[in-house]
Every structure is written in structure tokens, then in C-alpha cells.
Structure 1
């Protein structure tokens, strides 16, 4: 997740203001390389489902994907002495390497919680640890990264290069820790039962809770991606705090995500996950709306409180989304008796990548429409460009989050439903054993 947030927070601004690439062209590079990335998800999911090794089905992918992601981090932020089409081609290749490594790691990683436990509430507790470490990765990407670039290394392309080297080490260390730390984790084995392609697709589409969840995440991840990408633009052009001011946004937000986890976990143990998810989403919409009052004269404590509140509700949304995914995968197993954790994780990631693919395209169009000028390294923009920053940072995310609410309200998979399915599946297995 460190590499994911690093790319989400840093790359668009790095490309427009330091590599001198127009918002439209920078967005096009990310869009088309993510388009490639979207179609690698189901391939990795199927391959990881079918992998057989002494390390299990998933762990070899964690190791390989982590190593590739570490190398890609150096490539993305190398800032080579290239221009024009040569620079565009280099960045496209760098992003393809990054997206391949991230996918190879992330799909098996998302698959593993569904294999580790079948307990409805234990999944929430398990995913609370994951969400906590997500918050740490966010602090690193939104706090440490800009500090290294703009303060410690003095800014410019050199700052980005050194930051890329340091973060490549962090990414590799995290991947190795994940690989070794899951050595004793519960795993499932592939079942011999297979379906023909048509029946296979129908059975996935028939998983109504999963289809609802990925549509919810499509809207929310789009909104979240826009927020992350626009964070530095908001800090520079609205708050007028300079490029280093993004730290004041990122650190309180991700600190709040980590600190909020016990609260959201407690709520999920006493309420249905869907209800908790709705509360967190509505709270985040209302918090984003308060950014319309942001001015350069705003007291720093108010800015920090607002971003902390933003992070608090973000923590609930991340935790509930991650906790509900294993529930929908178990729902599939009880309906089909197939072990397809990898393919469901890949489809979930497919939606994540699709939304991420739309983010730079949408932002590029908004900024270009507002007349945002590239290559100014944070210098003053026109009023229409500032208005475009307002729209992209505030109203575009609100639209995305609001669109997810109707789907959340009709989501129906709960603890009782899963318990009944588990009981029916067990009885079916006993009958087969007796016959």
C-alpha cells in the first residue's frame, strides 16, 4: 500500500510541475498504463488460484510482486534527462513495471483473509490490523515523502530521485515482512471441481452481494483517488501553504485512520457492517463539504481538526470495505463449492484499478478546462485554474461518495445470512460423505 499511496499522492503533480508534462498528457500516460493494469488482475487471480508450491498458493506472489514493486519505485521517480515522446515512453514503461509488480503482490494479498478465518466478526478484527498498517503507509506517502522531497533533499528532481530510492527500500522490507509473517497462516487448497466459462461467469454475476460491493467500491475508490491526487494542489493553490504543506493534510488524516480503528471495530461488533459503512460514508461527505471554507488565513488547528475528522471517517470506510470482501467470497463458496479467492480478489482489484484509471483522466480534464499551466513548480495559477482545483478537490469526491450510498442501503449480506449458508453447506457436505 505504500507504493499505491506514493503513486496516488505524488506522481501527477511530479509529472505536471517538475517534468513539465501537460495535465492532459500526464493523465493519458497514467490512464493507458492503468488500462493495461486492469486486464492483468484476472490473469494474476487465476494463476494464484492455480499455483502449487511448498509456500502455498499465494506467498510466492507476495515475494515476487514486492521485489518488482521496489524496483519500479526507483524507475518512476528517476526523472531521467529525457523530453517529449522519449520521456512519455520511459514513464509508460515505468508505470507498466510498477502496475505489474503491485498486481502480483496485491491480488494474492487480498485473497488471503478469506482463507485465514470463517468467523464473521473475526474478519473485522483481522482487517482492522490491515487498516492500521494502511494508515502507516499513508503517513509515509503523504508525510515522509514530501518531507524528503521538498525539505530534506531541497526539492526538485533530485529530491524525487532520493525519495524514490528510500521508498524502494521501505517497499521491499514491507513485502519481505509480509512474506515471512504469513508462513503459518491458514490456507485453502484448490478443489478439482471446475465450471465451463459461461457457467463460471454466471455464477460470479449471481453473487449479488459481491456485485453490489464492487460497485460501491468503484464510486468510493474513484472519489478517494481524486482526493489523494488533488491533496497537493489543494495545499499549494487554496491553502497557500507551499508544497510542503501537504504534510499537514496527510499526517493528521492517516494518523486518524489508525487511531479510529478501535472505534470502528467496536461498532462493527455491535452493528451490521453495512450500517457502519453508511455512517462512515455520510460523515466523510459532510467533512469534505467543509473544505469550501478553506482559506490561506485559516488557523492551522482548524485545518488539522478538519483533516483529522476526514481521516476518522476514512478509517471506517476502509475497514468495512475490506471486512465485507471476505464475506462475499465465503458466500460464493457456500453457493458453488468452488475455491476462487484469487479471482474474486482480482475482480475487486479490477474495480480498484478501473476507478484509479478514471482519476487522472478526470482530474486532467478538469485542470485543463480550467487553464492550469504545467511546469510552474507550484507558482501562482489563474483564477479559473484555482476554481478547477476547488471543483476537483471538493465537489468531484462528494459526487463519487454520494453515488455509492443507494447501493450501500440495499446491500443485504449479514452475519445471520452467512450463518445459515454455512449450516446448509455443512449439511450438504455430510450428505455427500454418507453417500
Structure 2
């Protein structure tokens, strides 16, 4: 039986140590959300010599499996009764498997091509499966750690700051590791060392989250009844959740496309692998500064309004990245900084809004479907991020991009260079802008600020024996 909080604890601020401990999990989620999207596609096309279209399918297929697996992971964690907490044991077991399988993705054979490609698909599938059982319980925890509407925003602020640092660490240093090792050995060895290095980074996030949340409150509620299909149907009946999910999926798709293009832009348009690191610094640096400001904006103006403004920054920055076609590095970094400002808000706000929706649903029904909500949410995020590299690969293929092996030097046609720039800028800008059509329909924020839904701060607790 899960512990029941004492009266008066529901809206109490979380200890700073718990906020920091929970946020450390974003080292794992940020790293896994960044590095495969950044380096896996170029590894397949420019090291193993796999055609862009085929490589896009290979990157997408394991993530597509995650879309199906995430709601199941949520359902399983909803029914957990571990004395260490409903969700925490999943963080440790799945997180350890995540770190090991990630390193194995790049540890396989480099030839023949079909065997190297098969190895990547199998290991990436195992890694994605482990990630599902880490990410879904992790994302579900805030709705049970605190019942306070504003406290969730504060908790997500900590998480997004660590997320930005994780993106900076992994996104900036992983290409540097590949490049440094390649200069003294081979490109294949560079990727293998990078895989081991990122596996260790993932391990830090996993252990940090597990240990750091050991004293976190657990406002448990009754486990839901019915099949997974029944619960998905009930979750789908929440208009606020549907609109928020569609918004986030489209934005994740845009970010996924942009992320997939970084290595290609750095290599072919900005003349050098170091440009990849500079793009990430330009992207993440502003995010670290403005994330606390987005929290203040939410307190004064509301989460939905803040999400809309952040989306505007994302669109403006993405459009500005079209300047990469001219090879003007400083302008590209300035545009990346605008993207970073928007991205920080586009993470803080929806991450704080999903627990609100799930808690409001639990308050109305008396049953805990938080794991199912977050399972569907993470499935949508996974789908968007998985489709991103696939869509970018399709754009490359339409532009006539020429794949190569690690020891080959090829010249790309002008059409391929144009495709690299358009896929990195215009396509993400359009996707993110379209997402506003659904965000404007989200109403829970308005009802909370109008005082019409006090149930949001009163998640029903599981009865004691």
C-alpha cells in the first residue's frame, strides 16, 4: 500500500533536494532525446554508407515501437505497489538497461552494410524499449509528488534547467568525442567511444533521479480498472489533453527535424564539425538564462499564454536559421539563440500542464490514470522526435543527398545543400506555427485562473487500510 500524505501536506512546497533530485532525471531524458536525433542518422548515411531514405526508416522504426509501448508502460507503473514508491523502481531497472544498450548501438560491426544496419536497428529497439519504461514513470511522478498547481511549475523549472544543461553537455560534446577520436583512429572508433561516453552520462541521470527522489512525497490514488483500451478511450475524452498533446507532438516533430539537421548543416553549410558545438551552445545558453523568467511569466500571465509566446520565439528562430544557406555562421548562431529562448518555454509550460490535466482528471474520477496520461504523452513526444529524422532524411533524399562510407569524400549537389537548409529551418517553422491551432483551444488554464476548478489542487488520495 502506498503511503498516504498527512493533512495539510498537499500544497506544501517540495524540499529543494527533491526538486534537484527529480531534475537529475532530465540528464537521461535530455541526453537520449538529443544524441540519437543528432548523430544516428549521419552515422548511418556518412559512416555506414546507408542510403538516406533507408536510414530514415531505420531511425524511425524503433521509436515507432515506443509509441505503442509507452501507454503500456504507463499502465504497468500505475499498478505498481512497490514500497520504494509507485514509479521509482522503474527508474533504476530500466535506466541501467538504457545506458548499456545505448553504448551497444555504436559497438557493432561496420561491414557488411546489411549486418551493420541490422545491429543498429536491434540495439536501438532494445534501447528505445528501456527508455519507455524509464521515461513514462519519470514523467508521471510530478502529479503524485505535489498536488499544488504552481509547485508543478517550479518543479518543471528545475527540470528544464537540467534538461538544457544535459542537451548542452551531450549535444555539444558527443560530436567533439567522435571528431577527436576519429583524428587519431577511425570514424567508426569515434562513434564507439562516443557511445560509451554517452552511456556513462545516461547512468549519472538515472542514479541521480533514483537516489534524489527517495524522500519525495507520494500522494497515491487508487489504481484504475479496465483494460488499456478502456483507459486510453477515457484519456482521449479529455479535450484539454488532446489539444495539448497535438500541440506538443507537432512541436516535437519540428524540433526533431531541426535536431537531425545540425550535423549536416555544420559539415556542409557552416564548414566544420566545430559548428555543431557552437550551434548547441547558442541554443542552450539562452535557455539556461530565460527558464526562470518563463516561470515568472506563468505565475503572472498563465501557462497557456506563456506557451504561446514561447512558441512565437521558436517560429521566429527557426525561420532565421534559413540564413545557414549563405554560410553566415554568426547569423545562424543568433537565430539558434532565439530558438533556445522559445524552446525553454516550450518545455517548461507543457511539462507543467500535463500533470495539471492528469490531476484534474483524477480529482473528477477518483482513479489514478496519471501513468496512462503520461504514457500517451511520451508516446506522442516519441512519435514526433522519431518522425523528425525520418522527415529530414526524406528531404535529403528529395534533394539528391549522396551517402558515403567513413573513408569516402563526396561532393554534394546544390539541390542537396538547399534541402539541408530548408529542412533545418522552414520545415520546423511551419510545423511549430501550425501547432498553435490546437494550443489556442486549451481551456484548463483559464478555468484555474478564474477559480472555476478548485479540484485541480485536490488530487484524491488512496484510502488507507
Give the TM-score category using the shorter length.
over 0.9
Match of 2:13 in 1: none
Shift of 1:301: 4.2
Match of 1:4 in 2: 33
Q: Distance in 1 between matches of 2:168 and 2:150?
A: 27
For 1:34-433, list aligned pairs within 5 A: 34-151=63-180, 154=183, 156-191=187-222, 194-195=225-226, 200-239=231-270, 241-294=271-324, 298=328, 300-375=329-404, 379-414=410-445, 416-417=447-448, 420-423=452-455
Point out the structure with the larger helix share.
Answer: 1
Q: Distance in 2 between matches of 1:230 and 1:195?
A: 43
Sort the Cα spacing of 1:147 and 1:416 in 2 relative to 1 into closer, same or farther, 3 A. Answer: same
Paired residues, number: 428
Sort the Cα spacing of 1:61 and 1:199 in 2 relative to 1 into closer, same or farther, 3 A. Answer: closer
Q: Distance in 2 between matches of 1:356 and 1:427?
A: 31
Q: Is the 8 A contact 1:334 1:422 kept in 2?
A: no
Q: Distance in 2 between matches of 1:66 and 1:178?
A: 10
Shift of 1:199: 5.4
Q: Distance in 2 between matches of 1:162 and 1:83?
A: 21
Q: Is the 8 A contact 1:3 1:69 kept in 2?
A: no
Sort the Cα spacing of 1:187 and 1:147 in 2 relative to 1 into closer, same or farther, 3 A. Answer: same
3-state SS, counterpart of residue 414 of structure 1: helix
Q: Is the 8 A contact 2:75 2:228 kept in 1?
A: no
| Post-superposition CA distance 1:342-374 (Å, at most 9, x none) | 111100011112212322321222111111011
Structure-2-length-normalised TM-score: 0.87
Sort the Cα spacing of 1:43 and 1:331 in 2 relative to 1 into closer, same or farther, 3 A. Answer: same
Shift of 1:189: 2.9
Q: Distance in 1 between matches of 2:39 and 2:227?
A: 43
Name the Cα RMSD after superposition: 2.3
Q: Is the 8 A contact 1:255 1:308 kept in 2?
A: yes
Q: Distance in 2 between matches of 1:213 and 1:328?
A: 9
Structure-1-length-normalised TM-score: 0.92
Sort the Cα spacing of 1:81 and 1:361 in 2 relative to 1 into closer, same or farther, 3 A. Answer: closer
Sort the Cα spacing of 1:271 and 1:92 in 2 relative to 1 into closer, same or farther, 3 A. Answer: same
Query: Unaligned regions of 5+ residues in structure 2, if any?
Result: 1-28
Q: Distance in 1 between matches of 2:227 and 2:364?
A: 16
Shift of 1:376: 5.9
Sort the Cα spacing of 1:144 and 1:330 in 2 relative to 1 into closer, same or farther, 3 A. Answer: same
Q: Is the 8 A contact 1:50 1:190 kept in 2?
A: no
